[in-house]
Structure 1
Amino acid sequence: MGKHELFRVSKGVDSNFKLNSDLSCSRSQDNSKRTTGSDWFKLPEKEYTEDTLYEFKALHLRTSADPKLFYKPDNSMKSPPTSFAFGRVVESGRLKTGAGQESSTYKSKKTKTGLSFVQELLRDSNTQKWANKKYGEIQRVKAKGGKKWYAKQVAKRKKY
């Protein structure tokens, strides 16, 4: 055992350090535990933050955001993945022509750089209209049997 190894053992230094031939220390990292492997492009394992959990919840509940779109049901919230990456679809560089929403000038006005999926949903007017409509329906159903509802029913009754 060399002098440097005794020092390392006696001081209780992290065992991930290795001693090079020129007596310099370098940290050896075992990346096999922290990535998914070559099949999944070596995605790194990430810790869950509030933002990532909101993203997963939004992806899980995306069917309720737009009634006209159908998404295959998934059970990702039961056991969220340990290795994941959120991506963004970028449109091609071709210039779009036409009137209305197809034109390139319309798209350039609505820049969405740096937005997460949750932020896009919150900014989308169609999603907000749908959410407000569904919220109103739920509130009307829940209001039945309440004090105001009962007072209206009493007022509707025929009076002698």
Structure 2
Amino acid sequence: MPESKALVGLSWEPKIPNFSSATKTGLGFDAKPQETPRESNHLWKPATELVDGLFVPPNNPKTLNKMRRKQLKDTTGSNWFDMPAPTMTPELQRDLQLLNLRSVMDPKRHYKKGDSQPAKYFQVGTVVESPSDFFSGRLTKKERKTTIAEELLSDPALATYRKRKVREIEEKNRPADNEKWKNKGKMSYKRAKHRRL
């Protein structure tokens, strides 16, 4: 191939294997490939390995089993009605964190210590009230939210409790006051000024 010149646009040339004993005849080449191992010459394959003129890699049972395992759906099995493993979205992850911290939300409810890691297989559903429930027992459309986090944030009773607890924690963590150095009384400013002189 002659030296490559700078061309505008794209160009492509096929890679042709080197034939060692290629002798030119009137119409073409006497095609006999050079004797090299299969790994070194990737372009030429014997006719026995070609299927409909195309190279198909041999069936390796290990790779086939791996591919089959990847294609199987990740479920609990037929005993648990093939419950699929859900995809973890940020909203779902936030809801699971809130369920882990539910003992902090309400001071009058106590829960058993649950697992720190959520189960691999679970489902999220919506509670549907029966028509026999009275109106005050149900959530209104305004109160109904898409996630647990939104529902807890919109609850006014929980908001006041949360604010009170945050205030208590801030007061506890505030550094100690220096009350003993403060000047008290009517003449405190004058006394402090007199001390500075």
**Which category of TM-score, normalised to the shorter sequence, fits these structures?**
0.5 to 0.7
Identity of aligned residues (%): 27
Q: Which amino acid aligns with 1:70?
A: H
- In the other structure, the counterpart of 2:72 is 30
Aligned amino acid, residue 82 of structure 1? K
Label 1:140 to 1:50 Cα distance change in 2 as closer, same or farther (>3 A): same
Does residue 47 of the first structure (1) align with residue 80 of the second (2)? no
User: Residue 156 and residue 40 in structure 1: after superposition, are their counterparts in 2 closer, same or farther (change >3 A)?
Assistant: farther
1:79-90 matches, cutoff 5 A: 79-90=117-128
State whether residues 91 and 147 of structure 2, in contact with CA within 8 Å, keep that contact through their aligned partners in structure 1: no
Corresponding letter in the other structure for 1:155:
K
Q: How many residues align?
A: 131
Residue matched to 1:73: 113
Aligned partners of 1:91, 1:47: CA distance in 2, in Å? 27
User: Over aligned residues, Cα RMSD in angstroms?
Assistant: 3.4
Q: Look at both structures and tell me which one has the larger radius of gyration over its CA atoms.
A: 2
Match of 2:171 in 1: 140
Structure 1 counterpart of 2:194 = none
Post-superposition offset of 1:54 = 1.0
Runs of 4+ residues over 4 Å off in structure 1: 1-4, 14-17, 156-160
Residue 138 of structure 1 aligns to a residue in which SS?
A: helix
2:22 corresponds to = none
- Cα shift readout 1:29-85 (whole Å, capped 9, x = no counterpart): 423xx001133332212333322221111000011111112222202x3x2222222
Code of the aligned partner of 1:63: S
Instruction: Give the aligned residue type for 1:86.
Output: V
Post-superposition Cα deviations, 1:74-109, rounded to whole Å, max 9, x if no partner, equal 02x3x2222222222111122626xxx44x7xx435
Cα separation, partners in 2 of 1:39 and 1:118, compared to 1, 3 Å: farther
- In structure 2, what is the equivalent of residue 126 of structure 1? 157
TM-score, scaled relative to structure 1: 0.63
**C-alpha distance 44-135 of structure 1, shift in aligned 2 (>3 A):** same
Are residues 81 and 95 of structure 1, via their aligned partners in 2, closer, same or farther at CA, if it must alter by over 3 Å?
closer
Q: Which runs of 5+ in 1 are unaligned?
A: 18-27
Change beyond 3 A, Cα 1:121–1:153: farther
Q: Is the 8 A contact 2:143 2:151 kept in 1?
A: no
Amino acid at match of 1:30: L
C-alpha deviation, 1:125, in angstroms: 1.1
**Structure 2 CA distance for partners of 1:131 and 1:153, relative to 1, 3 Å:** farther
Higher helix share: 1
Q: Which amino acid aligns with 2:84?
A: P
1:23 is matched with none
TM-score, L = length of structure 2:
0.53
Structure 2 residue corresponding to 1:96, chosen from 119, 123, 134: 134
Distance in structure 2 (CA, Å) of the matches to 1:87 and 1:66:
22
